[in-house]
Each structure stands twice: as structure tokens, then as C-alpha cells.
Amino acid sequence: MKITIAQQNYHIGNFESNTAKIIEAIKEAKQQGADLILFSELCVCGYPPRDFLEFSDFINKCYNAVDIIKEHADTIGVVIGSPARNPKFEGKDLFNAAFFLYEKEIKAEVHKTLLPTYDVFDEYRYFEPAFDWNVVEFKGKKLAITICEDIWNLGDNPLYRICPMDALIKQAPDLMLNLSASPFDYTHNEDRKAVIKSNVLKYKLPMFYCNTVGSQTEIVFDGTSLSFDKHGNLCKMLPMFKEALETIVLNDDGTIDAPVIERAEYLPDTEFAAKEFQPALNLEMIHEALLLGIRDYFKKMGFTKAILGSSGGIDSALVLTLACEALGPENVRAILMPSPYSTEHSVNDAEALSKNLNNPYDIIRINSIYESFLETLQPLFKDLPFSVAEENIQSRIRGNLLMAIANKFGYILLNTSNKSELSTGYGTLYGDMAGGLSVLGDCYKSQVYALAKYINRDKEIIPANILIKAPSAELRPNQKDSDSLPDYAVLDSILYQYIERRLGPNEIKALGFDSATVDRTLKLVNTNEYKRNQFCPIIRVSEKAYGVGRRVPIVGRYLS
């Protein structure tokens, strides 16, 4: 049997585009002589559709798209993902479903059983779990069709009390198909392969796994669709972060007609990566994920041009470099806004970067605007000493100028804050925290430096001086980040243990970190939740990013 995997980038709610993509892939699969083509989870509407699922018209459009697609499923079996109505008078109104189309008919409808409700997932809000489990018969083969999370309930500590494949295996299937929408994070790739291989080894069946690709606001999907033979050998792996279509020959004995990429006995070592923060881990993946996040945000929103404040610091330098690579340097405008406390070398560094990138830039000195603010506020401030108030005025002036230019010329403002700053509240609301998209909000400062060095691996793009000088907001004389924060190497390691690993203060201290530094750091994180709650979407690259995947109370007292 020839099986085609269609790894595609969908646009949530853009039924015309999604349907056209699916039909084009079906045509190509037919030309390649495929018997069956497999698409990803909720491909008809895009994943995650969230509260769009509460609109009857949205569900009607899903069904209309299925009707159009099934007309092309004449001589080929087609497996697509779409919401399906629940005809029973119990439970929620919808299922997360896979439709099996053949001979221009819906031959079968398979419902997802395990509905994730953690991190970025909220499926039980909308869907009812499956009531029953049945294989689908096609061309003399029995297909065990599952949807994403349905294959993730193996291991010593299963998350759910049921495993759909345990029911399906009793019907003697010949192969497993899985439609997936599994988000990217830089530690997830090996785990995903291990889960799929575990299913193959447990049930002794080949697996064809189709994952979606593309970015949906903050969530990035990397694709990396996989095929394993019945012995647990990885035989096909589609590329990361790219659309792809691959036709694979499955032999009757459960082997795959392709060279083995990884043998069943391959055991990746992912344990160390999970326990300790490694700023240089999988930089190429993070780099590609950030580029895709920027490109898709602009393309799917209909934006073409970006703007950002270029300070001569490492964060804005990295964002500018990534944006130029993702959108083209001609579409990214940098604004340099030196204040009375900006050093001339910072201006020179920012200019040098834009010249290296060949992107347009402007210099707007904010000294006079800053002085006018101080003069206006003088009757209230009187002779009170210089404080964070005067520092933040500079940041908010810059935010206003950037937004004014963005409004006038149709730019989208890219935010340049990193995860270390967002964690500790080291940023100014309505100032340097302004923006339509956060590029580095899920990258710690240590990762920012590592990414900058990765970008400079072949030639100097980001000027060397930006990488070696001490980081500073330059909002007061001789200011350094180290005046307000612990050393970033220590800070980022503590933050990683608290945010990604969810360890409490005593558990973190037991790892050898200074007790006072841990207490101070965690207090900063918890007391600045109100700032992050007002922040723009963040491109997610870790297993626990700020935003929709992390929900803590703003006024909570825990660990504060």
C-alpha cells in the first residue's frame, strides 16, 4: 500500500485556503499512485480554533469544506481532521474528529478520545471524548486511526485512565495512522519520536504520523511527520518547519520500502536536557522556529512591514536580525532613539548593525522630549531625587514614538524583551513592553547571547561589541542590568527550574543555588505577573512559555 503524508501549513478559519491546499495535495498523491493520503489534526479549520468552535456558522463551514474535499476522494482514501457534531443527547456538542473519505463518500468518522487540557491545550472545553472505537477497513487492510494525544498515554504514569489503541488492537488492525497537531518546543522532538516508537513496539504495527506545520499566533508547529515500520525502525521523517508531501510504500509484512534512519534500539539521552538549563541546546531549531513565527504572524495577519527600537543592545540586535531574515531587510525599519544617558557607542553599534543588514533606519534623539516631560512634571516632582519614574519616562517616550510611526506608515511593532526580563519585571509597561508580537519573550538572556553567536557562526552580522559589552537599559548614568538583577547565568538557571520544571523554592535551593538569590528571584517573578498579563503574544519555543500556556493569579501570594 502506498501512503502519502501531507504536512501542511494551515490558516485558522481560512477555509478556502485550507481546502485548496488539501485538494492540491490529494491531486499530487494521485499522481504518485498513492492509495491513501493522511492529513493532520483539524486541518480543515486549522489548529487550535479555540472559541471559533462555539459558532454554528464556523462548524457549518467545516462541513462544507469536507463536502468539497470528498469529491476528490474518488480513487484514493483521504483522512482529514475536522470538528464533528455530536448527535447524542449527552456530553458536549462537538467531537475532534477524523473523517475517512473514499469513493466520494464519508466512509467513517473517528473521534478523539484523549482531550488534553494543560499548557496551551484546552480541548475538553469544546469537545466530547469518543464513545466507541473501531478500525476502518480499506483495500483489505484494517486501519487504526487515532488523533494526536490518543497515542500519548503510554509509560509508567499515564495521564488518562483509558488508551484508545488498547481497544483498537483487539480488532486486529494492520497499521496505525495518527493525525496530529503537536506544538514545537526545543526539547520535544526526541520525546515525540520516543512516544510514537513506543506505540509501534507495544502493538507491533507500523505507524504513519502526520503533524501540522506553521505558526498560529504564539504556537509554532514544526511538522517533522514520521513513519515507523512494525519493528520500531524510523524509516521516514519529513523536514522541520517546512511544508512537505511524501509517499511511502508499506509492504504487506509491515516493513517500509525505505532506508532506516534510526533503528529501534536507538535510545536518545534527553534526561540531562530536561533537568538542567542549557542555553546552547538546539539553537538551530529555535532559530528556525522564531523565523517561522515571525513570517506566519505577518503573512496570516496580512501585515508586510515591521518596526522596532534599535538600542545597540543584544536583544534588539537579535530581533532586528531575525526580522530581516524572516521578512526581508527592506521591510524592517529600525528606529534609534538615544536619550541623555545613551552612550555614543550604543548608537554606533546600532548603526553598524543596520548597515550590515541593509535595512532602513532613522535616528530620533529624545533629549528635548524628555526635558519637556520633566519640565511639565516639575511642579509635582519638585526636588525629589531621580528615580524609576524618570527612567521609565524615557522608555515610554520611545514606545510612543514607535507606535506613532507604526500607525502612520502601517508597521507592526516587534517587541524586544527577553524571558529573563519578563520574568523579573525588568521592563516598562507601555514603554519597552509595547508591541504586536514578542520575538524573544520565550528566550532567556543566556539563550539570546547563544543565538546571536549562532547567527554570527559564518560571518559577523551582529557587531562583536554588542556581544561583549555589559547589558544595560541606559536609563540612568552608568546603569548595568547587574545593578538590578543577579548574574544572568545564575538567574536563568533559577528561572528555568521554577518556570519550565515547576520546582518550588526549597527544591531549587536543594540544587545548590543561594537561598537569598532564589527567594529574591521568585518574588520578582510572582509580583510582576500583572505586567505579563498585559503583554503581547510571545512566540513559544520552550515547554512552558508565558501566555496562554501559563495561568497563574495576578494577586496570588504563593512564594511571594
In the prediction, which pLDDT does 514 show?
A: 96
Closest alpha carbon to 317 in 492, 452, 473: 452
pTM for the structure as a whole: 0.96
**Which of 41, 149, 218, 246 is the catalytic position?**
41
Closest alpha carbon to 45 in 96, 82, 84: 82
Instruction: Write the DSSP symbol of residue 384.
Output: P
Q: Is the peptide bond before 463 cis (omega within 30 degrees of 0)?
A: no
560 has binding-site annotation: no
Residue 560 pLDDT more than 70? no
User: Residues 56, 60, 63, 64: what is their CA dihedral angle, to the nearest 10 degrees?
Assistant: -170
Average pLDDT of span 155-175: 91
Q: Is position 148 annotated as part of the catalytic site?
A: yes
At residue 266 the predicted structure's pLDDT band, cuts being 50, 70 and 90, is confident
Residue 271 pLDDT more than 60? no
191 has binding-site annotation: no
Distance between CA atoms of 105 and 523, rounded to whole angstroms? 59
pLDDT by residue (tens digit) across 429-451? 999 999 999 999 999 999 999 99
**Which of 112, 193, 305, 445 is the catalytic position?**
112
314 has binding-site annotation: yes
Residues whose CB is less than 8 angstroms from the CB of residue 161 and which lie 6 or more positions away in sequence, other chains included:
none
At residue 478 the predicted structure's pLDDT band, cuts being 50, 70 and 90, is confident
Q: If you search the block for the grid coordinates 524573544, which residue do you land on?
A: 440
531 has binding-site annotation: yes
In the prediction, which pLDDT does 469 show?
A: 87
User: Residues 57, 59, 64, 66: what is their CA dihedral angle, to the nearest 10 degrees?
Assistant: 170
DSSP string, 58-95: HHHHHHHHHHHHHTT-SSSEEEEEEEEE--SSSS-SEE
Distance between CA atoms of 528 and 511, rounded to whole angstroms? 25
Q: What percent of the chain has pLDDT over 90?
A: 89
328 has binding-site annotation: no
pLDDT by residue (tens digit) across 180-190? 999 999 999 88
In the prediction, which pLDDT does 344 show?
A: 83
Q: Is position 324 annotated as part of the catalytic site?
A: no
Q: If you search the block for the grid coordinates 511527520, which residue do you land on?
A: 225
Residue 352 phi, psi (nearest 5): -60, -40
316 has binding-site annotation: yes
pLDDT by residue (tens digit) across 72-96? 999 999 999 999 999 987 899 999 9
Closest alpha carbon to 101 in 74, 121, 82: 74
**Grid coordinates in use for 332?**
524592517
Average pLDDT of span 14-42: 98
Distance between CA atoms of 163 and 147, rounded to whole angstroms? 12
**Grid coordinates in use for 102?**
473514499
- Tell me how far CA of residue 3 lies from CA of 30, 63, 100, in angstroms: 10, 25, 14
**CA atoms within 13 Å, Cβ hemisphere of 396:** 11
pLDDT by residue (tens digit) across 295-330? 999 999 999 999 999 999 999 999 999 999 999 999
Distance between CA atoms of 498 and 491, rounded to whole angstroms? 11
315 has binding-site annotation: yes
Residues whose CB is less than 8 angstroms from the CB of residue 313 and which lie 6 or more positions away in sequence, other chains included:
346, 466, 471, 472
**Which of 43, 45, 62, 148 is the catalytic position?**
148
In the prediction, which pLDDT does 274 show?
A: 65
416 has binding-site annotation: yes
Full set of structural domains in the chain with CATH: 2-268 (3.60.110.10), 283-481 (3.40.50.620)
**Grid coordinates in use for 259?**
532506508
Measured CA angle at 377 (ends 373, 380), to 5 deg: 170
In the prediction, which pLDDT does 559 show?
A: 65
Q: Is position 163 annotated as part of the catalytic site?
A: no
| Spatial contact of 309 and 398, defined as CB atoms under 8 Å apart | yes
Residue 141 pLDDT more than 80? yes
Average pLDDT of span 56-68: 98
In the prediction, which pLDDT does 270 show?
A: 53
312 has binding-site annotation: yes
Count of helix runs (H) and strand runs (E) in the chain: 17, 19
| Spatial contact of 474 and 346, defined as CB atoms under 8 Å apart | yes
311 has binding-site annotation: yes
Tally of residues, the chain = 560
Distance between CA atoms of 160 and 126, rounded to whole angstroms? 18
302 has binding-site annotation: no
> For the ranges 2-6, 60-64, 199-203, 339-343, which has the lowest average pLDDT?
339-343
